[in-house]
Amino acid sequence: MLRLRRMLSITLATFGTMYLVLCVAVFSLQRSLLYPAPQRAQPLSEGGGFSRLPLEGSLYVDLFHLPAPPGAPTVVHFHGNGEQLLTQTGLGTLMHERGLGFLAVEYPGYGASPGSPTEKGLYAAAEAALTWIRAKGVTVQQTVLSGRSLGTGVAVEMARRGHGARVMLVSPYTSIPDIGASAFPFLPVRLLARDWFDTASKAAWVPQPVLIIHGEEDDLIPVAMGRKLGTLFPHAVVETVAGAGHNDVLEDMARVRKHRMASFALGEP
């Protein structure tokens, strides 16, 4: 009996140690998972819509800006965690063809931008970009905040701070810990999370009209999260895309979802 108890104690201690090591590994590596940060060896050359925005210290991020026609809105877009600024030019061109301005903001540590991405750092870059576009004469009422996947958390935080008149969210999540808890239900994700992007808790403080687009077959951010957020924002419309997953929700036939975003940004029904 004593031997059995000793074996049981050793087994429990071994599993406890393994579990603790796993928790430490998740805590240490979570930002590399959350921010894959596609990178380039060379900085973007200024011109053709590209420019560089200085941040605090020696940091900077790149911008891609297509000015709006006089009096038209400008879409300020925050991309997903596996994207970078160069992949936003197609969306920007389409928005510009529809009579909108477009501004995409790189994240610290992405592309050729120095630094490391964090929730605080992404917010700082976003706010600096919005300050920059204000200096260009684009007012709050002419600003439409847009985000995809990870970027939806940035867009919502900027909306909560009063930076835009309308908000567009593609594949949004309720919070990063909610996603983590869904993927790793056996881990204390909420105790380990370093970056929360807690959209659900902020939704009630976003009075702007919100358009949510979500793929019904999204296996990374469940469509249920998009639907839930639709009930939390005071003024939200949720449009789900049958057959679309996480990465192809804006790439459906005839680019209809991108055109839907442009119509919403222009205030059209």
Residue with tokens 């970009």: 129
Owner of token pair 């469940």: 222
Catalytic pick among 77, 96, 214, 246: 246
Question: What is the identity of the amino acid at 16?
Answer: G
Residues in a beta bridge with 143 = 74
Catalytic residue at 218? yes
Q: Is 138 in contact with 74 (CB distance < 8 Å)? A: yes
Active site residue 248: no
Q: What is the CA radius of gyration of the chain?
A: 21
Number of CB atoms found within 10 A of residue 261's CB: 25
* Terminal Cα distance for the chain, rounded: 75
77 flagged as catalytic: no
What single letter denotes the amino acid at residue 89?
T
Which is catalytic among the residues 178, 195, 198, 218?
A: 218
162 Cβ neighbours under 8 A, 6+ residues apart:
140
Q: Which of 113, 149, 171, 175 is an active site residue?
A: 149
**Residues labelled as active-site residues:** 149, 218, 246
